[in-house]
Structure 1
Amino acid sequence: INLGPVSSDLFLSFNYNHAYYNTHGGQPDYGSFVVSISTDYGQTYTALETITNTNASEWQFKSIDLLGYAGNDVKIKITANRNNQNNYSYNFAIDNLSIISCPAPTDLTTSNIRGNTADLGWTEMGSAAAWNIKYGVTGFNPDTEGKLFTGITENPYTLSGLLKETTYDCYVQAACGDTDESVWVGPHTFTTVATPMGTPYFEGFELGQNDQNTVANGWTQQSISGNKSWVANRSYHTFGRSPRTGSWNATLEYNNRDWLFQKLYLEGGKSYTFDMYGRVHKDNMGITTLTIKYGSEANEASMEHEIAYKIIEAGAYQLVTGTFTPESTGIYTIGIQGKTISSFNYLSIDDIAIYETPDCPAPFESFVSDITGTTADISWSPRGSETAWNIKYGPEGFNPANAEEGMLITDVATKPYILTGLTGKTQYDLYVQAACSDISQSAWTGPTSFTTGNEYYTIDYLEGFETGHTTLQPPANDWRQESVNGEGNWIANNYNAGANRHPRTGNWYAYLTDQNTTWMFQKVMLKANTDYTFELYARQNTAETSEMRIAVSYGATSTAAAMTNEIVSTTNITNGDYQLITGNFRPATAGIYSIGILGINNTYSYTEVYYLTIDDIAIYETLACPAPYALSVSTITPGSATLGWTERGSASNWNIKYGAPGFNPANAVEGTLISNVNANAYVLSGLQPNTAYDWYVQAACSDEEISTWTGRKPFTTKHLTSAPYTQEFTTTSTPDGWTKDHWFIETVSQTPVLDGNYIICNLWSSSFLRTFEMINIGPISADMALSFYYNHINYSGPQLSPGPGSGGFEISISTDYGATYSMLETVNNNASADWQHKEISLSGYAGKDLKIKVTGIYNNGDFLLALDKISISVPPTC
């Protein structure tokens, strides 16, 4: 039929076959056929090509370029010629005759077949410069299955990652344009051999493995210590055993040192690169390692040449990489040794690759840090000797190979490099490329993805570290840091880690370890000539108060040098509960400012780590009537307590509210209100003994203006029992209101029997105090006395007194509920081993509440001291 007009990119293509007609069988090796073309609708023809018959038995494919006939209508004619002298007849057949723009490749072949690689080749029948390949285990459905590679520009192309002794089907398709592709050609079938493997070699453990069995695919092992082996893993993700990519990895259990071996065919004098990713569950003092070597045989003794060695740190996967050059061509063994020690510590590996080292190798391990709303610090590890790099960044998913996509920065000579001009709250992808010379660049490494934060924050600003942070990592949410001394950063955490490291509110906080002085910066938008208040709560865990300090300043940029405006001068942080650090400031001009928090932790100890901990940061416009802070309670008695606070503003009157634990100060019917208090400290009286209370304070700046309530501050009043009082220790429990240190309530065999239990201590060293304090008792009448029985006896040996000069005990008395004590009497050991009675007049304490303290005295020996039937009462008259 006449066809047209034809374009310049069309081809005439068809399949053809020839075979003897009679019973001779086989294919003729004579005869031909001519393909002709007409541009005048069949009136005249011009021969395009003459095809001579061959002995080929299969169908053959032919493609003829029609470039010279662009714009014409054409008619095709095919003429078969027998051309034989033996008068043999044969059949000639043509099928799939078409005029198309993208003819399919032909003559699929495979060569250099090894255990894991094969070179797939084909004949291009048109003008395509790129092809698509699909392959899979023989019999796979190419419409729905198989592994697809698109945009291939190499012919032949090396298929890698194959399984040894496995039969594969391959298909090839010409990619003539973005939407113009040929039909798939295939299948072409081949079978990999047993060994050796070739390069490029890849092992991601995704194929041919059995879960929790020793690693397969030609890997062999040698155990040096321990009783476990490297196993393929799919089902366990705890203890750092999740894969880096895909669904599988390989793991080695704790307390083992094991080798993995794989044989590879390598060419002498050629440089190869080894890449592998490893991770470990937890820090192990530098003894979890991966060692890569190669040699002649699959045993440790043959591992003569080191490729790489790396200490694996706790956390994410880390790249283990190195290059090596074998001296001669042959089969070599690559060895991977994993070493683990600590209990419940697993070493995981994934994504092994061995390939010819590129002339310009790509960087690796790119990462992003110190991300703000407009900037990000980026860094990478060079694999070669290059001194310049190209950086490309853009929106998530952009293609770095497309010149129209992303932002390119060339000839970067320093790292880390600060990206600027970013947009806040935007996700970016980042790629890095080595620039080895003007004409030689590596492949792009990436993407490394990151999301910018806010360019600045508005007031009111609150940071309790409750959202956006990662456990045991520097605080996120656009915080930047700068170290003045030491190498440590502020760290965010969300569990009670001891040493006073737990949150003030919520579940998160931040801390700074010892021997570090480090700034934290945050950007905020401030108004001109406006008063602002900064608040921060801090605590620490050492008595070295002068070594733990906080200072707060602000400036134009997030650097230590820019912190020229003081908000809070350097303030000591004491050991114990959280303390409020607060200050006011007033910028002269509006703009974006950086608030800086300086943590100073100069402590050091061989045996302990000391921490400076912070929580609940707030910046807000200063209130007209700010609330007091730093509530305190002192001089607690059975019926009163002295309340104190720090005034934040200029108030001279305050309101106090107290009540049972948990009461709501905003509820008018809960708690007891005391108004117009003009004394700080304030003695709160009329309380009940041994009772828990909460209290709050509020600034009363004027009749119309009051602050919010500050609290809750809890306290408990002292015990008090009325006189007379007698304690005979009828049980072994500590009596109500008593405290004791190294005294016990019991009976022991060494002490003579008196009447059941008594309170007793063992005095054998002057290094330890032995003290007990009784309950508060009162009021006392003038005719009352303190009376008791006491006994001192050797701890071991016969029931004898330790003798005069060995020790005794002191009796002290307090009239201020244990705040201070004065000496009442000292009782020294004597020669008696019996229970003795002692009576001391209390006539000088009439009308007072008393508290008695007994302290053991040790001079020498090893003896027991016991007291019983302790009484404050009127002595009997006879």
Structure 2
Amino acid sequence: MKRLLLSCLAFLSMGVYAQTNVANYTFSKSSGMTYTSITGGTKLFPTGTNTTYDNEVSAAIPLSSPFTFGGVAMTTCYVSANGFIAFGAAPSGTNYTPMSSLGSTTGAISAFGQDGGFSSSDATQPIGNHEVRYEDLGTEFVVQWQDHANYSNRSTERLNFQIRLVYATGEIKIIYGNCTDPGTSTSNSTPHVGIRGNSTTYASNVNSLMIGNVPSGTTCDWSKAVTGSANNSTMLFSSTTNASVKIPAGLQYTWVPGTQAPVRTFAAATAITNNAATVNWTAPTGATAYNVQYRAVGSCDWTNLVGNPVSAATATITGLTQNTTYQVQVQALNGAVQSVYSHIPNAAGTGSGYASTGSFTTTPNCVSTVTGLSSSSLTPESATISWTASTTPPGNGYEYYYSTSSTTPISTVTPSGSVGAGVLTADLSGLTPSTQYYYWVRGNCNGTDKGVWSSSANFTTLGLCPTVTAPASSATGVSVTPTITWNAINGATGYKLKVGTTSGGNDILDMDIAGGTNSSYTLAAPLNFATTYYYSVTAYTANITGPATACTVRSFQTVCNSVNLPYTLDFESVTTPALPMCTTVINSGSGNLWKTATAPTGFTGKVLNYSYNSSNAANTWFFTQGLNLTAGVSYRIKYKYANATGTTQYPEKVKVAYGSSATSAAMTNTLADHANITGGTATNTFVDFTPNATGVYYFGFQAYSLADMNQIYVDDINIDVTPTCSEPSAVAVSAITTNGASISWTAPATAPGSGYEYYYSTNSTAPTASTTALGNSTTTSAPLSGLSPSTTYYVWVRSVCSSSDKSVWSIVATFNTLCGIVMAPFTQNFDSGAAPNCWNNVNPTATGTDANLFWKFSGNGDYGASPANNGKAAGTYAWVDASSPYAGAGTNTVQLVTPSVNLTGLTAPLVSFDWFKNHSMSTGTTVSPSSYDNNKLTVEVNDGNGWVVIFSDNTNLNQWRTVAVPLAASYIGATIQVRFTVDKNVNGNGYFYDDLLLDNVEVKQNPNLATSETVAKDHKINVYPNPFTETLTISDVSKVQSVSIVDVSGRLIKTIEKPSSELQLRDLKEGLYLVVLNMKDGSKQTVKAIKR
């Protein structure tokens, strides 16, 4: 036992040690290798019948031989659709960073580790050619990603690559086939490539690669990748960043198990001169010598140090170029054993030098340091830069470099320009407006030797959108001949001025104003009063016609003039809570202000609204536009008003007055004082008045309620000359039948001499003065006949004072004719998003009006009945929301009842419907994971003799189910209603996860009545009683071979061979069943029986 324990401990110790030294693997790159696709083996993704994949991870895949990884024999692996494989455990499907994210895995090999997906570039390859598969070749285990892509670039990228594990040697090969250029999206564009052990410790257990846009615009592709500097080092693959950093076909990366640890720690470079530098590092365990390589930043290839290998942990590199930035890398040796090359250290030795700053920069021959950078004379496309002369003036002047990037240029970059000796300024041209530029300056000693670049400075070119000073944005009361002013832009040659009646429009003015110093323009032609206009000012230069992004469009309102009558204000033109143009609001107290709001019941569209202030009383005035009135003329103001509905009433107060200005002090002529407004019913009223003087008058509505009351609504303000013929009021409808009704109204104060006319329609559009009346009456009532059942009607009445003098039409009255009996076949698909006409949505036991105690017709189900599961758009089915209340009164009787349907003409009536119920606590497809009870749907039929259950079910399925229930022969020719009842609390354990949906209700002829069933009626065998409770009796069992009991969904419940005359059926649930008598002569007789 002791020997076995020691062996186990030795094995475990070896495994832990080996797996923490994956960094010791050696690495090599090869180009031009043959890429051999695999077509056998097993396809992993897409799975099943799917055509796409995303974030999939395979189950454990057995290896035909143990594969040694990090010293441990691996017998299985896991494949991620995100471009890598893992050992030990399945990685997360959303692991896009396998080198730095461990999870439960004990190792990973990544060829393109990022958020991967299928390529959908169908124009260049057959649809569905994308896949991930593996094949065990006996000597190698191969995983292949075919037509793969960065998920964010799957419409353009097609990548092909393999991970190959060589059983005999433990070699790991990543080989790339044909790969498109990178896509344009920068999301997920930096994949992980490399190997990682059972931790993410960079020093010992990560062996990864990196390449990027270093320096900017590099032409180095993936064949020039270098060793990663951290566990999160990445490879660039984005054409937006740099399309040259791509994957050449036939590129192969190879890792081979090794024992020499790499160099991981550096010190700062020392002894840096204009042609040499010394690099220093910490010797890793076991290293006896080192190879050193170096390159100038921007070069893709490395130069070997003369004198390689060196024995000490330091090396002096000579023969370098002055003022040049270099990168270095070091490889540790132990005899013939080699490590992977190190990462590139930075100048301090503490971080990554894979950047434009590199590992060190040689000193310049040209000792010229430039300071004091500044900019001036900015225009949209030019600038002047200047600097302070170097202490040692360079003989050949200065060079400058500018860019929209803040990255410091390297010494070998081509300058943007130069100036001669003694010149300390430079003019930059051809710039882009509204753009920030960075610039640097260096000395040019002799044409060959250059100084170091200075620190950067920056400037932003002027834009082509001037600062507009008048009119202010959204200004009101602007003159009809406005002057538009702006701040002139230095360098502009002119301005484009546009004025229109729509945003961005130019139907009023589209003018070029030459001269860059111009800063104003006055419109010559007057604009309209009380109108909104839109305008913009854009500068241009000799070379640029305008900005890349259009200048801001502003608006203003011209001054409001007084207007003649009639004046109508219905608030429909506003965007709530804004006020109509030319109206004003003031607050004479500390309460709230009038605003506009969506209309409540009894109003249409939008209304004027005052909403209570909890602490302060109302004292706010709303004023109309100024109106031109004449002394001695009688005028009429009409409007409607209301409070809000509610069990408890909070009275509101409104005063209506007029005066000579839109101020509270001027409102000296009170027209009405509504001091106790309660209830949510809109009241229509009018007041006649006569001004004493001719002039401009404003009409005010003052809310002056106490604090913490409710709502005030005002709408349909109309001011006009008092009509000589007044309209009737209070139009009412009574005695409504399926095809008729009676209307009545209240006569005006002065009854019309020639009676009344009325007009009705199924259209809510009000009649006009020229509309022909449909009837007349000399009294204050009239009958309507010839109407259609189940129809909404609108009716208006007007007074007839004489043949040439008729009033305006009254306020509309609305009514619905009663529902008539409809003839079968009958169908309802609930596609209107509202309750169908003549259906009853009731709950006989509810004591409240909560919407969740009634059927709904808009919106959609949730959780297991979400649109993603049920597949139908919101508002195309009826449904019961399982949400609260799911206990208490009404939760057992959520009922929906059809209109009355006459079955005359149906010889085999059938009720059918679709329903959906998928009890789930999530929006996934899981059925019935909840510990709460299932809701139940019960369907009943009533022909006047009481409700009979024909269907009842509480089961779940993640799809719509169609139920067809044949009705008993006793219903033929009858008139029926069908009732759908949902019980939300079957056993006192209801909850809100179980929404129930209903669609496509039909009452029609049964299309499936078999011929044999009709012929079999000649047997004249009776089955009774019907309905039954426990026992059914067959009148003549001698002719019956067997009996089949089938439920309404067609499911066989039981078969009784050689039955007796009495069938014991007490075990059946309540409902409708088909009792099929299988006769000895081969015919059948089907009887519909109801179990009580």
Identify the TM-score tier after normalising by the shorter chain.
0.3 to 0.5
Structure with greater contact order relative to length (CA < 8 Å, sep ≥ 6): 1
Give the structure-2-normalised TM-score.
0.29
Looking at secondary structure, tell me which structure has more helix per residue: 2
